[in-house]
Copies of this chain bind each other. A is one copy, B any other.
Amino acid sequence: MNREELFEKKPLIKLHDKLFPCPASAAMELIGGKWKSVILTHLIDGEKRYNELRKEMPTITERTLSLQLKQLEVDGLVSRKVFTKKPPLKVVYSLTKFGNTVIPVLQTIIEWGITAAIAKGEFIEQEK
C-alpha cells in the first residue's frame, strides 16, 4: 500500500496496544488532548528546560506537564537530556527528528484554531 491508498482506505492502526480506526485517530492519540500540541509548539523554538516550559504555560500543573512530557518521550516526539547528577538538576527537552515532522501539522492546527476561536470562541486578555 502506498500513501495514497492508505489515505483512501483509512486503515486500522495499532498503537499503544490499542486499535484506531484511521490515521487521523492515531495522530490524535499522539498529539491530541489539551496539552500535547501546546507543549510541542513551545518546543519548536528549540530546547527548553522544565521550568522554562512551566513559565511559558502558566496554567499547566506540574503533574500534567511531567506526565505529558513523559508520554511524548515514550512516543518518540520529544527527547529528554539530563545534565547534572545532583540537585539542582538541569534537564532539557527538545523535539526529536520524528518530533520535527509534526511541526507543519501543529502550524496548520494553530492557524485553524485561531479561525475557530474567532468564529466560536473568545480571546482572553493575558494578565501579568
Binding site for B on A (CB under 8 A): 1, 3, 6-7, 9-15, 19-30, 32-35, 37-38, 41, 57, 59-60, 75-76, 98, 101-102, 104-106, 108-117, 119-124, 126
Task: Determine which of B26, B38, B76, B115 lies in contact with A25 in the assembled complex, contact meaning CB atoms within 8 Å.
Answer: B38
User: Which residue of chain B has the shortest Cβ distance to A37 in the bound complex?
Assistant: B24
Could you tell me if A14 and B116 are in contact, using CB atoms closer than 8 angstroms?
Answer: no
Task: Determine which of B1, B6, B38, B104 lies in contact with A22 in the assembled complex, contact meaning CB atoms within 8 Å.
Answer: B38
Cα distance, A109 to B105, chains bound together (Å)? 6
Cα distance, A14 to B121, chains bound together (Å)? 6
Could you tell me if A33 and B34 are in contact, using CB atoms closer than 8 angstroms?
Answer: no
Contacts A21-B60, A37-B25 given: A119-B104 contact, CB under 8 Å?
A: no
Most buried by B among A29, A59, A109: A109
Contacts A27-B116, A112-B27 given: A126-B37 contact, CB under 8 Å?
A: no
Residues of B within 8 Å of A33, CB to CB, are: 28, 32
Could you tell me if B38 and A113 are in contact, using CB atoms closer than 8 angstroms?
Answer: no
Task: Determine which of B21, B30, B109 lies in contact with A120 in the assembled complex, contact meaning CB atoms within 8 Å.
Answer: B30
Q: How far, in Å, is A48 (CB) from chain B's closest CB? A: 14
